[in-house]
Structure 1
Amino acid sequence: MVKPSVSAGSRDTARWADPSAALAHAAELIAAGRTAMLQPYLASVDEAGRPRCCSSAVGSPTPSARARCSGRGGRAAGPGQPGDLRRVQPTVAQRELAGSVFSSIATLVPGAATPLYARIDLVDDAAGRPVVLELELTEPSLFLPQAPEAAGSLVRAVEAELQR
């Protein structure tokens, strides 16, 4: 996978089987003044989509949304394009991993406070264990339409922060 470090809705993300096409895509992003990330592609994305675990201020994962990835050798759909986005319940292992990542954020970034929210995107490795695909701290898409009860948790976290 080749993707820009800053993007939304998989914009300018692509999966390439040909290494030269992947390098060309990365070069295109860099030439445009952006940075590129390279990630190994895990087969579980094709089989199960990409679960997303959103954590609230207390670090408890909310119900997740799952998005299907686009096909091989091409760019993923961007914002506003049709996709397969649906609510899924995270597994115990996904909730534990997301909670652990969330609670570690403040220790990983010196001087940082625990954030109000984070989106932790997970996929399964070849052995079926969840692994972190992305940790997004400034993510505008928290999939609240798929888990409307999570909006209340986020609002309460913001209110509590404002009252501090």
Structure 2
Amino acid sequence: MSSTVGIVVTDTYRPGDGDNDTAPLIAALSALDIAAEPVIWHAWEPRSDAGYDLLVLRSPWDYSEREAEFRAWLARAADAVPVLNPPALVEWNLDKLYLQDLQRLGVEVVPTQWVTSPAELAAALSSHGGDWVVLKPSVSAGALNTGLMRANSAEAEELGRQILTLGRTVMVQPEVPELSEGLEKALYFFDGEFTHAISKGALLERGGGFRGGSYQENPQLVTAAETERAFGAKVLDAVARATGQPLPLYGRIDIVTSGRWGTVLLEAELFEPALNLHRAPAAAAVLARAIARQL
């Protein structure tokens, strides 16, 4: 095998237990005569003689709890080895404030109030009366510190203040009924090519916490209408215009088509999304070929 790729994970990586992508991706790369292995990001110190021709960020899912450490590691890694998706794109994508950039470029985004102080929090919650709202930090993974609560509840104010105490911007969004019905779709694009769509079901329990008591996705293959695929491509085009970066190696575009707002963007996940390759095995080969082209 002439090339070696490091697949960047974290120390909670377990094949088939949460990370369902790394093992099938390594197998698909092996079929192309490309060696690959998991690299635990915070246990590996980048160096020029690392032996890798490319690092592919896959599941560094603890980045939000070690953000400064991860940013510093990513910069060092990029000095030693090419990294995909590119660190400049990752830096932009780390904080969901990027949604503001995309909105300015014409991408429809779920309505969001951006809160940076207790006074702004009180005003934002008050504007929703007693309606259900979602509160979440602008930097987070795995729906950490995220809740679906009545806007006028003590729990909503407490969660908002907790997020502010962590030094994060609070995102306040109205409940989208279709999200609560589990109609969110994740659209996957590898090197610009649409491969599959996943529905992971509703996650948040009204009143706070997760349905079933813990974060538990139930990814299932679903179809994506041509209009939804076109929306995903539109988002990727806006990402390129906003960042000046080339087309991402991989991207997951999370959308919901709602009766009130039409099709809107929830997130553009460009560096650590679950790809659900175990649900779409053929997509692993598409991603592997895209990596081979980068080599």
For normalisation by structure 2, the TM-score amounts to 0.49
How many residues are treated as equivalent by the alignment? 158
> Any unmatched runs of 5+ in structure 1?
none
User: Which residue does 1:29 correspond to in 2?
Assistant: 163
Higher helix share: 2
1:39-54 superposed matches below 5 A: 39-54=173-188
1:11 matched residue in structure 2: 144
Aligned partners of 2:263, 2:161: CA distance in 1, in Å? 30
Aligned equivalents of 1:33, 1:137: Cα separation in 2: 23
Worse-superposed segment, 17-26 or 42-51: 17-26
Q: Which runs of 5+ in 2 are unaligned?
A: 1-133
Q: Percent identity?
A: 32
Supply the distance in 1 between the matched residues of 2:229 and 2:222 (Cα, whole angstroms).
Answer: 12
Q: What SS is found at the alignment partner of 1:118?
A: strand
**Is the alpha carbon distance of 1:31 and 1:145 closer, same or farther for their aligned partners in structure 2, counting shifts above 3 Å?**
same
Give the counterpart letter for 2:205 in structure 1.
G
1:151 aligns to what?
A: 284
Q: Cα RMSD (Å) of the superposition?
A: 2.2
For the 8 Å contact 2:254–2:265, the answer to whether it is kept is: yes
| d(CA) in 1 for partners of 2:150, 2:144 | 19
- Taking the aligned partners of 1:151 and 1:7, their CA distance within structure 2 comes to 26
Kindly report which structure 2 residues correspond to 1:70-85, keeping only aligned pairs within 5 A, or say none: 70-76=204-210, 81-85=215-219
Kept in 1, the 8 Å contact 2:252–2:273? The answer is: no
TM-score norm. by structure 1 comes to 0.82
- Change over 3 Å in CA distance of 1:56–1:73 after alignment to 2: same
Cα pair 2:184 2:201 within 8 Å, conserved:
yes
Alignment of 1:102-141 (within 5 A): 102-109=236-243, 111-127=244-260, 129-141=262-274
**Relative contact order, CA 8 A, sep 6+: which one is greater?**
1
CA contact (8 A) 2:187 2:229 kept: yes
For 2:251 and 2:152, locate their aligned partners in 1 and report how far apart those are by CA, in whole Å: 32
Equivalent residue, structure 1, for 2:231: 97
